[in-house]
Structure 1
């Protein structure tokens, strides 16, 4: 069932008609937040009301999502935080991606026949990287926020203590993962009630997680990476058969990285660099597509060209991208308009390019259960953040006494070169695991700026994240509203397997037939095309906010596919 997410837009003092003839506004008329859960959106707005800025609100939204969306994110995971400081005009990305523990060598993930063993790569202690989200919350508060960390974490602590109603996606997700999660005493203590699993409508309290958040609030990063919480994390991982060390846990650091910037038809696009693959892939795709008049094309030819751009970008993702601290990435070449022109020249406007005709060797030169939120405040500060524990409920392991559900991000490494991971994407040496290395990600929080508008957008969706953000950017360029962008139908191509996947209703019969006649293979809901994942009826959970500087109005879009998401606008008080 698709539920319509709540979108509340409160009017600014001046009417749009009055503002339309004026110069673009210097500051937004309030704040706008869109997130995957209404309680997280409200937590961020509460912190804004208390005098915080977008970065303080991000702490509240992020930590609350970790409480109310444990299927998607939490203290045991990581993420990317794209920040815009209105006062300085500076953009920065906080890389809070998990990293590989020292024990995680590739051979640990193979079975006796040398094949990738998913029991280790996606379940239990060996699937978990060292978490980064707690360090990101501290960094946001201490370096960018106005309020104490303790104040910004208070909403999440309150909700973890008092509980919230379990929703369908949460209970159904648990049912899918119950056999793995119930192997671990710490997980059973959180998710079983009198020996029975959580059900929709239950009041879900997490007192141990509340205590862990309280220690983080009081002691900063040492409240998680050292001391009592760290000892419990290490003991829980060891009891489950894993091997983390106190030193690698204590040494985790958030890294500041320079965002990727490029232009697309009058928009300045600011997005994430490696270890996200999203920024480079978006730049490649959009710089290929800027050579076409997409707005005036029929649906078949427009989709064909977008798919061909996707195909080429994902091919480069496979061979060239990884953690830039460990891998030499030809970023300058991949971001070059000349390189995009060369790729564009290989596209036949009337016929699909079979993926096996694009070289499978390097040339010389991310589950759907992730979450995203977007924020703009009254000063013009912006945050786009995508965070995750990777697959549904991560590793399934909660170290006893912590309430912290650990990620299964090791599956995002190329654990066996040339072997697809859980999202069907492959990698080679550039994304092979090494101690302290961060796995390649598809998370792609993105800013869009034009003379009249400022936009924040992003979504979960595994390897489909990048293409959903691409379609969102094209939607804004077509003149759609924030809510229309959040609701756009979605399709995807990732080089291999050589298939267009799409949601239900994305293509009418004529468009699907036209694409097939061009040589494209389509995998649609109910379609039995070989290869690739079964195509879901709906994908992602896009959250976006927009400031129209010409009318000086704010708006938000929350994905209608999500039953509990919310986008809200809070006007400035006189």
Structure 2
């Protein structure tokens, strides 16, 4: 079968697999997997009120904003990949944060002209304009069936009445205690008489409940204009930041066409820029699509995957940025012919030293993000990844708001061409400009086959893309979400030239074989986790549904009902 006819057949299979035209084509249940039981329950509460997957996404995302402040919140942003069953519309809602108009690169330099990591990571100068509130409003208004007063009700109730933070949150607060003490409102919100809270502590967030109520009542105006906006701007500017009320008023969620491509007999839908994830994922799977992986031993499969990762991460750093500000060769990078050229440079039994490829290095990214996946009874799909960047974001709370602001300014290349504290370089494509959005690795994705559909994503900073790659490879091989989220993971990102691996990812023999090929393999010490993946799936042939939440987390929940 020639390539053109294969694409026609694949398109027909995708249309059949995703069609919601008749009751027989719809799931008999709904599936939600998220990083917190309360958030998963909130999603089902929205469904039980008559909502769809998009209303459930509002409920899940807003509840995570309450119960998981170390990873996400209305002071941050995210990327939300949607598929509407009624008409097959696929879209990514880009709710990445934006640089304030008055951004000044000199703010991120110390007296010697070197990168100032403190200003980039902590306090009001590190905070970009949040996108999370706007995406909640857009989801409800343009895609959901419920008013915001209903889909935000679980989050408002939990914030007002209180909840007991899980061990992840308690540990995060303890690690950031000294930083939280720098700002009175931050210390008052998360510390108990200046000390980190203990397990069993009840956190009540009445100020956050009031902000969520304002959003429920007034939509975008409840956050980006009026009393909340004035309070945020005054608090940020009084502490040395550069926000303006105009920055907030001008914020908007962008609808972007997803990256789509075929891997064998599967249709992949994933995130476009300003995410780097979809392009890198397409490049890696296009490279691997040229091999019969099923006939190879595991060591050689890992070797080829690592070589694909190495090449995709080099291109990620070199070419990508905010699509509203940077022209990128997206069609070329995602073209199978380009991947074929890269594949030709891979030796079947030897590692390619990264310093033999054209040089560049990617900026660091946070491991502290949150992901959720949803399939509803109509066959609507949501893959949502949201973040405040590093643990507890900027650690800065504006008094009277009840939430931390993000520190997404650090996801920009704040000082182009100069190494940061990690010895890594940035790129002008990802330099901050007024209103621009920083590059991200968030990779919310759909996997669509003749019979099976999967919704996948994970936190994990620069590790996100490779974790999603490994999850997709396992899904197409027939694994269920419950098994996929528990797989031991490995990662390579071009520089440093090291294969990072979880304990148990490789047997001693596999590790030795990879090292004999020339790979440097670093097994992470202790139980440091790679990500917090959440995956759901629907088998149209059998009607079976699955929801898997990563066992690496303390409170994740995957439920089918």
Tell me which interval the TM-score lies in, with the shorter structure as reference length: over 0.9
Instruction: Note the 1:263-342 alignment, pairs <5 A.
Output: 263-342=262-341
Tell whether the 8 Å contact from 1:171 to 1:198 is kept in structure 2 after alignment. yes
Aligned position for 1:19: none
Change (3 A) 1:425 1:299: farther
State the distance in 1 between where 2:228 and 2:427 align.
35
State the distance in 1 between where 2:319 and 2:281 align.
15
Give secondary structure in 2 for the equivalent of 1:519. Answer: coil
Change (3 A) 1:419 1:26: farther
State the distance in 1 between where 2:69 and 2:512 align.
41
Deviation at 1:245, TM superposition (A): 0.6
Tell whether the 8 Å contact from 1:414 to 1:421 is kept in structure 2 after alignment. no
Deviation at 1:194, TM superposition (A): 3.9
Deviation at 1:239, TM superposition (A): 2.1
CA deviation profile, 1:422-463 (whole Å, cap 9, x unmatched): 888643111111110000000000000000011100000000
State the distance in 2 between where 1:107 and 1:254 align.
28
Aligned position for 1:456: 455
Aligned position for 1:566: 557
Tell whether the 8 Å contact from 2:268 to 2:448 is kept in structure 1 after alignment. yes
Give secondary structure in 2 for the equivalent of 1:310. Answer: helix
Tell whether the 8 Å contact from 1:504 to 1:538 is kept in structure 2 after alignment. no
Deviation at 1:30, TM superposition (A): 1.6
338-347 or 178-187: bigger deviation: 178-187
Tell whether the 8 Å contact from 1:277 to 1:440 is kept in structure 2 after alignment. yes
Change (3 A) 1:425 1:147: farther
Aligned position for 1:254: 253
Q: TM-score, normalised by structure 1?
A: 0.91
State the distance in 1 between where 2:420 and 2:391 align.
15
Structure 2 residue 184 is the aligned partner of structure 1 residue 193? no
Change (3 A) 1:111 1:438: same
Aligned position for 1:541: 532
Structure 2 residue 541 is the aligned partner of structure 1 residue 550? yes
Aligned position for 2:39: 40
Give secondary structure in 1 for the equivalent of 2:232. Answer: helix
Give secondary structure in 2 for the equivalent of 1:268. Answer: strand
State the distance in 2 between where 1:417 and 1:479 align.
44
Structure 2 residue 405 is the aligned partner of structure 1 residue 406? yes
Any gaps of 5 or more consecutive residues in structure 1? 1-22, 527-534
Give secondary structure in 2 for the equivalent of 1:165. Answer: coil
State the distance in 2 between where 1:170 and 1:523 align.
28
Change (3 A) 1:173 1:384: same
State the distance in 1 between where 2:418 and 2:484 align.
34
Aligned position for 1:20: none
Give secondary structure in 1 for the equivalent of 2:25. Answer: coil
Deviation at 1:296, TM superposition (A): 2.6
Deviation at 1:536, TM superposition (A): 6.3
Aligned position for 2:221: 222
State the distance in 2 between where 1:210 and 1:509 align.
51
Any gaps of 5 or more consecutive residues in structure 2? 1-21
Give secondary structure in 2 for the equivalent of 1:236. Answer: helix
State the distance in 1 between where 2:426 and 2:312 align.
14
Structure 2 residue 170 is the aligned partner of structure 1 residue 179? no
Deviation at 1:418, TM superposition (A): 4.2
Aligned position for 1:240: 239
Deviation at 1:232, TM superposition (A): 1.1
Deviation at 1:294, TM superposition (A): 1.6
CA deviation profile, 1:274-297 (whole Å, cap 9, x unmatched): 000000000000000001122232
Aligned position for 2:477: 478
Aligned length: 537
CA deviation profile, 1:454-486 (whole Å, cap 9, x unmatched): 110000000000000000000101111111111
State the distance in 1 between where 2:23 and 2:334 align.
31
Tell whether the 8 Å contact from 1:75 to 1:131 is kept in structure 2 after alignment. yes
State the distance in 1 between where 2:438 and 2:47 align.
34
CA deviation profile, 1:2-26 (whole Å, cap 9, x unmatched): xxxxxxxxxxxxxxxxxxxxx9941
State the distance in 1 between where 2:152 and 2:35 align.
18
| C-alpha RMSD over aligned residues | 1.6
Give secondary structure in 1 for the equivalent of 2:383. Answer: strand
Structure 2 residue 457 is the aligned partner of structure 1 residue 466? no
State the distance in 2 between where 1:247 and 1:349 align.
55
Tell whether the 8 Å contact from 1:278 to 1:466 is kept in structure 2 after alignment. yes
State the distance in 1 between where 2:481 and 2:530 align.
18
